[in-house]
Amino acid sequence: MAILIKTADEIEKMRVACRLAAEVLEMIAPYVVAGVATEELDRICHDYMVDVQQAIPAPLNYRGYPKSICTSINHQICHGIPSEKKLKNGDIVNLDITVIKDGYHGDTSKMFLVGEVSPPAKRLVDATYEALFLGIAEVKPGGYFGDIGHAIQTHAEKNHLAVVREFCGHGIGKNFHEAPNVLHYGKRGEGDMILPGMIFTIEPMLNLGKRHMKILGDGWTAVTKDRSLSAQWEHTILVTDDGYEILTLRGEER
Ligand code: MF3
Ligand code: CO
Ligand code: CO
């Protein structure tokens, strides 16, 4: 499947869906504290999307996924399923939100620090955020998807962190996941050319230990094989005529 170029009308709908996804992360922030069960965070986000935003939580029933958001704690890389398990002091947790509004998807995630977090955990979370933004900075017409992966991999390796290879960013629009696969590693000039009107996510997952992962028995939760900590941040990006627009940018990032 070719990489779709969005029309002006589609771009406007993507702006709306992405703003809503960002607003869910802003809304939920005060609830992400020690003692809260991740299924409680899921319920609050679900009700906000459905009742306040009149939007659809994209993960719910997506390929059999049972909840409305993903909550990935500590050595969980991604796709953690909300449960009765409570967050505790020192945890790092990723909340990944995807909403569907007017038929279009907005996808974004951020790391939350629960109480006092260890220095290595903080370093991992910060370096992963920097890697996301170094990847985003490569987005411009005439560049290549490999430029994004290369920037992320270079920053990870400089910080002695490993890039998870089994998951990648993705084109997004009417479909949750569409072409291209946006790799978080690679070489400059590799892959497809980046063109105006493309919309895709960048969502690097970096580990304190080795890059290898496994999937738990629930069929979803990806964890580091060596049980080292993992962090992820995600934005949805529009390619403009002279660079990019971060469609899921939050107020705290402006
Ligand atoms: N939001 C994830 C992504 O960034 C996908 C989650 S799929 C789910 O692509 F089914 F686990 F929700
Ligand atoms: Co995504
Ligand atoms: Co996501």
pLDDT of residue 1: 85
Pocket of ligand 1 (CB under 6 A): 59, 62-63, 65, 70, 79, 96, 98, 107, 201, 203, 220, 234
Q: Mind listing the pLDDT tens digit for each residue in 36-71?
A: 999 999 999 999 999 999 999 999 999 999 999 999
Give the global pTM: 0.99
pLDDT of residue 200: 99
Which of 175, 176, 221, when mutated, tests ligand 1's pocket best, judged by the most ligand atoms within 8 Å of its CB?
176
Q: Mind listing the pLDDT tens digit for each residue in 180-214?
A: 999 999 999 999 999 999 999 999 999 999 999 99
Here the tokens at position 116 are 């006092």
Q: Mind listing the pLDDT tens digit for each residue in 128-164?
A: 999 999 999 999 999 999 999 999 999 999 999 999 9
Closest Cα to atom 2 of ligand 1: 96
Considering the chain, what percentage of its residues have pLDDT values greater than 90?
100
